[in-house]
Amino acid sequence: MHKKLFIPGPTEVAPEVLAKLATPMIGHRSKDASKMQKEISEKLQKVMYTENPILLSTSSGSGLMEGSIRSLTAKRAVVFSVGAFGNRWYKMAEVNNIPADKHEAKWGEPTTPEIVDQYLSTGKYDVFTITHNETSTGIMNPLAEIAEVRKKYPDVMWLVDSVSALSGAKVEVDKLGIDVCITSTQKALALPPGMAICSISRKALEHGKQVKHRGWYLDLLEIYKYIETKDHQYHATPSLPHMFALNFQLDRILAEGLDNRFARHKEMAEFTRAWAKKHFALFPVEKYASQTLTTITNTRNINVANLNSELAKVGLQISNGYGDLKEKTFRIAHMGELTLKDVKEVTAAIESILKL
């Protein structure tokens, strides 16, 4: 039996989107491939509120996290971490021999504009990274407030991991001034895993030229070069099945209407938070609680793994806590194709299993 996924990726994929993965192949150097890349880019520019070029990478979201910090750090990067995915970004810098510092907030708390200001004002950095939506703790960072502070440091490249939020929450890339905004297919965009997506500013494309060793497969400048000079193609064979499905899914997303889509996510988040507070407690500071998933503190000391086994019997699946937060928290994702009705179904099932 298929289990309906309330996990923060992979998420539910609509059957008609899944079917697009089985589209007969075309050559990746064909005019049709170029046309498809252009269409996908134009649609993603709408979803991301940007005029910046869009890059696709056949990797999961981590690919472009690693690619961006490696391609763009000429001097030193500072990684603002609020949990597991921020820590991953710092690790990527370390293992690539990229000079970097990390500021890690207490888990459950956001990155504040004050702390960003404090680090950037030292003048030591040419790159800083922010996790928009931390999937371990359920924190959604205040991008607009961070953008205000960042205006003082326009030459420091701003990289944002919006992997688990984009299209479920509004990210106005150009208005915020984000240089690289990363997402991937298997979260709120509701496609199978396998492709990462980012926007990249002209400023970042220039800045990266100073970096000598950018790698090749995940070098953002190399990827862009092919788009610019080879009529919207890729330096290596991209996952064409994902591109067929993504092109189609973006039509569905734009047909729903972006504001409607964000409102649907907000509605699910508000319901889930209220439910969590009634029966358990919220893990993140409520003001910064995510719009795409809710991390819940296991105040009743339930066995989360057992709960999930019981949920499986009725065709549902939630997520245990991430890493050290396993069993101490659990997570209900409400993103992508899910609706309030689905969230009500899973919370009711939990109430019935736990006899709440």
Q: How many degrees, rounded to 5, is the angle at CA 19 between CA 17 and CA 24? A: 120
Q: How many degrees, rounded to 5, is the angle at CA 104 between CA 113 and CA 82? A: 75
Closest CB 310 distance from ligand PLP, rounded Å: 26
Closest CB 295 distance from ligand PLP, rounded Å: 12
* Contact set with ligand PLP (CB under 6 A): 8-9, 60-62, 85, 131, 133-135, 161, 163-164, 184, 187
Q: What is the largest CA-CA distance in the chain?
A: 62
Closest CB 100 distance from ligand PLP, rounded Å: 17
Nearest CB to ligand PLP, comparing residues 41 and 164: 164
Tokens of 124: 């030591």
Nearest CB to ligand PLP, comparing residues 28 and 88: 88
Closest CB 164 distance from ligand PLP, rounded Å: 3
DSSP letters spanning 54-109: EEEESS-HHHHHHHHHHHH-SS-EEEEESSHHHHHHHHHHHHTT--EEEEEPPTTS
How many CA atoms are closer than 13 Å to the CA of 276, on its beta-carbon side? 25
Nearest CB to ligand PLP, comparing residues 33 and 198: 198
Closest CA to 77 of 62, 64, 91, 61: 91
Nearest CB to ligand PLP, comparing residues 62 and 349: 62
Closest CB 63 distance from ligand PLP, rounded Å: 7
Per DSSP (E only), the strands in the chain are 4-5, 54-57, 77-81, 100-104, 127-131, 133-134, 139-140, 157-161, 180-184, 196-200, 281-282, 293-297, 316-317, 319-320, 329-333
Find all residues with CB under 8 Å of 309, minimum gap 6, and list them: none
Closest CB 353 distance from ligand PLP, rounded Å: 26
Nearest CB to ligand PLP, comparing residues 8 and 53: 8
Nearest CB to ligand PLP, comparing residues 137 and 349: 137
Nearest CB to ligand PLP, comparing residues 92 and 304: 92
Closest CB 102 distance from ligand PLP, rounded Å: 15
